[in-house]
Structure 1
Amino acid sequence: MSEKSNPIAIIATEAPARSKPSSYPEPFASLMLGREKRRLGDLFGLTNFGVNLTRLAPNAVSALRHAHTKQDEFIYILQGYPTLHTDEGRSQLSPGMCAGFKAGNGNGHHLINETSEAVIYLEIGDRTPGDEGSYPDDDLKAILVEGKWKFVHKDDTPYT
């Protein structure tokens, strides 16, 4: 029996889209409609960091506004004009622009597509064990357990 081999190279837009729009519990998961992720890093078997090609339809958001304790994140805008929302406020981005989010600084961030055209960008993040995500605008906390996100309320009670 042979192991499944990873591709050498692909056309990124032809990678399969993630089948589930979000791993957030409700009522948050349905807020991610209009977001489509293609997990490029997983496709190539990468384990130290992840790379997603993400498309936001008009009025879609990249995620709930969040910050990580251990994961650095980086985005690079390929198409469209998303609004970056951080603790400092809102900034419009354009193709060729990039932004980075250092782990542990608590600065919540996400992208919002407030235009009538699609936004496409690359997102890159490391996979440091023990990472946690905080959500300043929502009653949600994320804990990375054995490579999977577990979501609880801010008081640590589980979502049912």
Structure 2
Amino acid sequence: MTDKPSAVNADGISEPFAVESVPWQEWSEGSRYGSRFRYLSAFGGASHVGVAMEELAPGMESSLNHYHMLEEEQALIVAGEMTLKLGDKTYLVKTGDYVCFPAGQKAGHSFYNHSSEPCRFLIIGEKNPHDVIVYPETGRVSVRLTGEGYDKSATMDYWQGADTERKG
């Protein structure tokens, strides 16, 4: 661990740093979802590309199954193995495997650690501030720009609710 809050020096220059110097952060939601991660890109001063070293404990899922309309994500498995759920299929991914989730690929993705050991992976994304994220299993649609979520089943016709008749 380091007492330095980032790799950016007093002159505003991002200097090299050891991954181990970035503090772990943890999150969880119930007993099903959660992980710990080192947010490498933020520590290095980056703002356009997000890179995190994530560790998924046995029996845990990384996120709700989702896909991005505008943001691309990629993952490199660096230690262990886990199950990738991609659309209607599942894949065993292990150390050295790489997977891309192109923007607009309408196949939800998420990881589940089915093994008895932690699995570590790099997750890389664009941090697109205008992204729209779709969660196929829950029907949620998240609009990053507004910070709001919507129920996908509550769709509207373009003219629905509009007064289309001229008055007077």
Q: Could you report, residue by residue, the CA deviation over 1:70-129 in whole angstroms, capped at 9, with x for unpaired residues?
A: 000000000011111111401101101100000012110011100000000000000223
Could you say which residue in structure 2 is the equivalent of 1:91? Answer: 91
Q: Could you report, residue by residue, the CA deviation over 1:22-59 in whole angstroms, capped at 9, with x for unpaired residues?
A: 6xxxxxx33423x1121111111111110000000001
Gaps of 5+ in 2: 1-8, 156-168
> 2:24 aligned to 10, 17, 30, which one?
17
Could you say which residue in structure 2 is the equivalent of 1:25? Answer: none
Could you say which residue in structure 2 is the equivalent of 1:137? Answer: 137
Whole-Å separation in 1 of the counterparts to 2:135 and 2:41: 25
Could you say which residue in structure 1 is the equivalent of 2:166? Answer: none
Q: Tell me, what secondary structure is at the counterpart of 2:94?
A: coil
**Percent identity over paired residues:** 25
Whole-Å separation in 2 of the counterparts to 1:4 and 1:139: 46
Contact residue 6 and residue 43 of structure 1 kept, 8 A: no
TM-score normalised according to structure 2 size = 0.76
* RMSD (Å), alpha carbons: 2.3
Contact residue 6 and residue 44 of structure 1 kept, 8 A: no
Could you say which residue in structure 2 is the equivalent of 1:26? Answer: none
Gaps of 5+ in 1: 23-28
Could you say which residue in structure 2 is the equivalent of 1:104? Answer: 104
